[in-house]
Amino acid sequence: MAMIECPECNTEVSDSALRCPKCAYQINKPKRGFFGKIFKWLFILFNILMILWIWGGVSQSTEAINADASGAVAVGTGIGISMLLVLWAIGDIILGLLVLFTKPKS
């Protein structure tokens, strides 16, 4: 454990300290733990998956809507997209809370 100078007040501080004890200048940034990193990446990947899923569903259904004159495919597509948006919102709330609770303390 080496001693470094605080860039703000020039006091000697441990290199593992997060803040200077004298002026509270942030020296090191706190890092996420193992589960924090996993939840953060799950949140990002879940959002990418949902974007691709909705985009793929809409692009596939436009072909079917153009071929169908009754409009039943359009109603089914609307219901399906609505269900995906609800699933997306619920998933984002759950994963977002897990990311928030595993955030490093400063």
End-to-end distance of the chain based on CA atoms, in angstroms? Answer: 20
Half-sphere exposure for 22 (CA within 13 Å, toward CB): 10
Q: Count other Cβ atoms within 10 Å, centred on residue 20.
A: 21
Tokens of residue 56, six digits: 């793929």
Structure-token pair, residue 35? 């589960």
Per-residue pLDDT of the chain (106 residues; tens, 9 = 90+): 688 888 888 889 988 888 888 888 888 888 889 999 999 999 999 999 999 999 998 888 888 877 876 777 888 888 999 999 999 999 999 999 999 999 887 6
d(CA 28, CA 93): 30
- In contact, 65 and 77? CB cutoff 8 Å: yes
**pLDDT attached to residue 69:** 66
Q: What is the reported pTM?
A: 0.73
Map out the domains of the chain as residue ranges.
1-30, 31-106
pLDDT at 57: 87
